[in-house]
Chains A and B, each alone.
Chain A
Amino acid sequence: MSTHSQAHSQQPHVTGSREITWAQAVREALAEELRRDPTVFLIGEDVAEAGTPFKVTSGLVQEFGPERIVDAPISEAGFSGLAVGAAMAGLRPVVDIMFGDFLMIVMDQVANQAAKVHYMSGGKWRVPIVFRTNMGATRRSAAQHSQSLQAWPSHIPGLKVAIPATPYDAKGLLKTAIRDNNPVVFFEDKLSYQMVGPVPLEEYTLPFGQADVKRAGRDITLVATSSMVQVALQAAAGLSSLGIEAEVIDPRTTVPLDRHTIVESVKRTSRALVLDEGYQSYGVTAEIAAVIAEEAFYYLDAPVQRMGALDVPVPFSPALEDLTVPTVEKVVNAARLLCGPDRGAQ
């Protein structure tokens, strides 16, 4: 799984320049793959006529019909198991898990079945399946609809995990996920569906395990995933006005993880702050911080710091909920401290 990506930004080369929303980009990815491969189908709650609560799959049932855009009853474990079986039988299901929090219900199908069938069958069975779900708080959805659980599937061998941060990355990575012969859990930030970004007209895919340098800088590396990429970029802009140039690295997939790009960046900047919206303890940030400590130790000029969500159930109260996630201000302050008293002191 190890990859050696080039440390350059994978910004889209748009020939026919246009900007579309995240929801449109994901819908395009699904539609293109549905057209391209007749074995691909979509299953989940409210995916057909309703087009999901976030209107991501709107219109697909009109083009591909109810046999390929399947509305399932409220029975995540059941339709996930169905999909795992369908994948073993040769189809390519895209399972829509309406909220990332519902992964708990299907965790046996994901972690014990989908992730292990290829191994336990001695390679005779494969499970080309995508569990498309979401993460992210501050949508006032309360404790059971606001969690960012990307660390859970990332912990299980046999699963790949994509966690894009832009419409461009979401489309390119989702197409790769659907074509992958292994189970993939695909996380999208709930607040990103209306995010607008450049997406090429022509078809493209993005490789897994290749981080994207979202911003180049020399003083500190901000490793950020999904929702935290925008936070990191805004923080970097603020830090720049203080004389601190932050590099923002988006791993884009937690499994496989592009250790090389992260480590090489930290070797140059000597400082790292890792951001992810999952709970901080035992989280994605901890894993990436450990990678940095292991592979860039002798280049570190400050302790590796991580910043995730507070280890609390996500509050419904907006005032409290906003306190639980890393913010631009928190990132700026943490980065300034890491860069030392002489930096950003103006």
Chain B
Amino acid sequence: MTTDVIMPVLGMAQDSGVLVRWLKQPGQSVARGEILFEVETDKAVQEIEAQASGILGPWLAREGEVVPVTQVVAQLYAPGELLPAALAPGPLSAATLPKAAAVAATPLAARMAAAHDIDLAKVQTESGKVQKADVLAYLAATEQRPAGRILASPKARRLAGERHLDLAGLQGSGPGGAVLAADVLAWRPPVVEKPVPVAQEVRPPGAVGKADDMPMIPTSHTWQRMAERTTQAWISTPQFYLQRRALAPRLVEWLHGARSRSTQKVTVSDLLVMACARCLALHPQVNRSWQDGRLVAFSSINVGLAVALEDGLVVPVIHHADRLSLHEIAHARAELAARAREGRLRSGDVTDGTITISNLGMFGVDRFLAILNPPQAAILAAGAIRDEVVPLNGQPAVQPVIDLTVTFDHRVVDGAIAARFLQTLAAIVEEPLRLLEQAPPLPH
């Protein structure tokens, strides 16, 4: 005759227990009252005594397993009773256990998982046994996954709509992660499109400590935004890059001419703003944005110009740049840059850009790849204008050149559209007089 050994009910509201440890091996002789195994409930670990004497059969529950109360975890056989061969004494291998028993979890974690209809096997744990915190982390991760309708208060929806913000991109602070009005109002427009080269202390290999051991550098709000925005753009945008070298003697000539004729100081950036604005007008496919799963067109052409500050990067925007004269562009750029350095930028100064120009030519950078500035579809990275040996009419010649690299959002443009855009840009740089031609896009 055999006696069932069950997971006991140790508490009022207890529906399962963790079998922490077996104290008897299968095949071992057990006297009534001896400790068979230990059980952990949310309250304590308790030792469970044998209710009868006999020989312990195979373990039907593994150490660490969550077992529903009253479920049989082993059997005690009468002395001399033949054990079935398949159940011969020996440590229970994982393979013989039912699949559901494979996950170890605390009773609380198991109960939470059951309440939320979560498969414990999907919950990741570092301790080897699923804890309450692991279930909570799993819940948080799955809740944040944008599936179906996004939770948001009516006011938050209205505010987001008025601001043309995608609710999916907002971090909700309300119940269940619901987006509240404050979350919408706390959102700040993108002000950053690429990391600024920052001189960093280089530690020898092996000397890199953990973050905890390293001194923390205080960062400004601007810097924080730069970190967040570049991370978001880098992770969420399929970016590709096109590069082209343009001969720049006519651009340099234009620059010197403009400087001699204008009381306002004219920079290479000003010329590039004008060129980019014209290019967008000629290639409206680039003046678009991928938002909320749809392709939308910007209604105006506004060119942002990256300005590096001590405490981060800002991108003041020259609005309607396609309608401005070079003098007006230079004036607007100078004023915005001054305001940026004095920390007096208004929100209207940094919003609604539809393309960005980052010019590192003044630092002697030949060419570089910039990170997109969402929701824009393109950013121009301009290198230094410098003399290079180039083939000219079959002969080597020394000419000023500029390397133009444009980063595109592949959801908005494909390679061909992007290439035509860059072709036009290079053509204008090589012959700025093209700006005077109200011509359709260049033939391709």
Q: Which residues of A are interface residues toward B (Cβ below 8 A)?
A: 270, 297-302, 340-342
Asked if B367 lies at the interface with its beta carbon under 8 angstroms from chain A, I say no
- Decide: A340 and B157 in contact? CB cutoff 8 A: no
The complex places the Cα of A301 from the Cα of B154 at a distance, in Å, of 6
- Decide: B154 and A300 in contact? CB cutoff 8 A: yes
Tell me the nearest residue of chain B to A303, going by C-beta: B153
Chain B contacts with A in 143-189, Cβ cutoff 8 A: 153-158, 173-174, 180-182
| Chain B residues whose CB sits within 8 angstroms of the CB of A300 once the complex forms | 153-155
User: Shortest beta-carbon distance, A265 to chain B, in Å?
Assistant: 14
Jot down 9 A-B pairs with beta carbons below 8 A, ordered by A.
A297-B154, A298-B158, A299-B154, A299-B158, A300-B153, A301-B156, A302-B153, A302-B180, A342-B173
User: Shortest beta-carbon distance, B429 to chain A, in Å?
Assistant: 49
| Chain A residues whose CB sits within 8 angstroms of the CB of B155 once the complex forms | 270, 298-301
| Chain B residues whose CB sits within 8 angstroms of the CB of A301 once the complex forms | 153-156, 180-182
Q: Which residues of B are interface residues toward A (Cβ below 8 A)?
A: 153-158, 173-174, 180-182
Which 3 residue pairs are nearest across A and B when measured between Cβ atoms? A298-B158, A301-B155, A301-B153
The complex places the Cα of A301 from the Cα of B159 at a distance, in Å, of 11
Q: DSSP class of B's interface residues: helix, strand, loop or mixed?
A: helix
Q: DSSP class of A's interface residues: helix, strand, loop or mixed?
A: loop
- Decide: A340 and B174 in contact? CB cutoff 8 A: yes
Tell me the nearest residue of chain A to B180, going by C-beta: A301
The complex places the Cα of A342 from the Cα of B175 at a distance, in Å, of 11
Interface centre among A301, A302, A341 (most CB of B within 10 A): A301
Tell me the nearest residue of chain B to A299, going by C-beta: B155
User: Shortest beta-carbon distance, A18 to chain B, in Å?
Assistant: 45
- Decide: B180 and A340 in contact? CB cutoff 8 A: yes
- Decide: A340 and B153 in contact? CB cutoff 8 A: no
The complex places the Cα of A85 from the Cα of B47 at a distance, in Å, of 84
The complex places the Cα of A270 from the Cα of B153 at a distance, in Å, of 10
- Decide: B173 and A298 in contact? CB cutoff 8 A: no
| Chain A residues whose CB sits within 8 angstroms of the CB of B156 once the complex forms | 301
Residue among A270, A299, A340 making CB contact with B173, cutoff 8 Å:
A340
The complex places the Cα of A300 from the Cα of B181 at a distance, in Å, of 9
| Chain B residues whose CB sits within 8 angstroms of the CB of A299 once the complex forms | 154-155, 158
The complex places the Cα of A342 from the Cα of B182 at a distance, in Å, of 10
Tell me the nearest residue of chain A to B155, going by C-beta: A301
Q: Add 10 more A-B contacts to A300-B154, A341-B173, A342-B173 (CB < 8 A).
A: A270-B153, A297-B154, A299-B155, A300-B155, A301-B155, A301-B181, A302-B174, A340-B173, A340-B182, A342-B182
User: Shortest beta-carbon distance, A266 to chain B, in Å?
Assistant: 10
User: Shortest beta-carbon distance, A210 to chain B, in Å?
Assistant: 27
The complex places the Cα of A270 from the Cα of B154 at a distance, in Å, of 10
| Chain B residues whose CB sits within 8 angstroms of the CB of A341 once the complex forms | 173
| Chain A residues whose CB sits within 8 angstroms of the CB of B173 once the complex forms | 340-342
| Chain A residues whose CB sits within 8 angstroms of the CB of B157 once the complex forms | 298
User: Shortest beta-carbon distance, B278 to chain A, in Å?
Assistant: 41
The complex places the Cα of A301 from the Cα of B173 at a distance, in Å, of 11
User: Shortest beta-carbon distance, A344 to chain B, in Å?
Assistant: 14
Tell me the nearest residue of chain B to A300, going by C-beta: B154
| Chain A residues whose CB sits within 8 angstroms of the CB of B180 once the complex forms | 301-302, 340
| Chain A residues whose CB sits within 8 angstroms of the CB of B182 once the complex forms | 301, 340, 342
User: Shortest beta-carbon distance, B175 to chain A, in Å?
Assistant: 8
The complex places the Cα of A298 from the Cα of B173 at a distance, in Å, of 18
User: Shortest beta-carbon distance, B122 to chain A, in Å?
Assistant: 28
The complex places the Cα of A340 from the Cα of B155 at a distance, in Å, of 14
Tell me the nearest residue of chain B to A297, going by C-beta: B154
Tell me the nearest residue of chain B to A267, going by C-beta: B155
The complex places the Cα of A43 from the Cα of B182 at a distance, in Å, of 56
The complex places the Cα of A89 from the Cα of B58 at a distance, in Å, of 97
The complex places the Cα of A298 from the Cα of B153 at a distance, in Å, of 8
The complex places the Cα of A341 from the Cα of B156 at a distance, in Å, of 17
| Chain B residues whose CB sits within 8 angstroms of the CB of A342 once the complex forms | 173, 182
The complex places the Cα of A266 from the Cα of B11 at a distance, in Å, of 48
| Chain B residues whose CB sits within 8 angstroms of the CB of A302 once the complex forms | 153, 174, 180
Tell me the nearest residue of chain B to A302, going by C-beta: B153
The complex places the Cα of A148 from the Cα of B173 at a distance, in Å, of 38
The complex places the Cα of A298 from the Cα of B154 at a distance, in Å, of 5
Tell me the nearest residue of chain A to B158, going by C-beta: A298
| Chain B residues whose CB sits within 8 angstroms of the CB of A340 once the complex forms | 173-174, 180, 182
User: Shortest beta-carbon distance, B149 to chain A, in Å?
Assistant: 16
The complex places the Cα of A341 from the Cα of B174 at a distance, in Å, of 8
User: Shortest beta-carbon distance, B184 to chain A, in Å?
Assistant: 10
User: Shortest beta-carbon distance, B152 to chain A, in Å?
Assistant: 10
User: Shortest beta-carbon distance, A245 to chain B, in Å?
Assistant: 15
- Decide: B158 and A270 in contact? CB cutoff 8 A: no
The complex places the Cα of A340 from the Cα of B153 at a distance, in Å, of 12
The complex places the Cα of A302 from the Cα of B151 at a distance, in Å, of 12
- Decide: A270 and B181 in contact? CB cutoff 8 A: yes
The complex places the Cα of A293 from the Cα of B230 at a distance, in Å, of 40
Tell me the nearest residue of chain A to B161, going by C-beta: A298
The complex places the Cα of A299 from the Cα of B162 at a distance, in Å, of 13
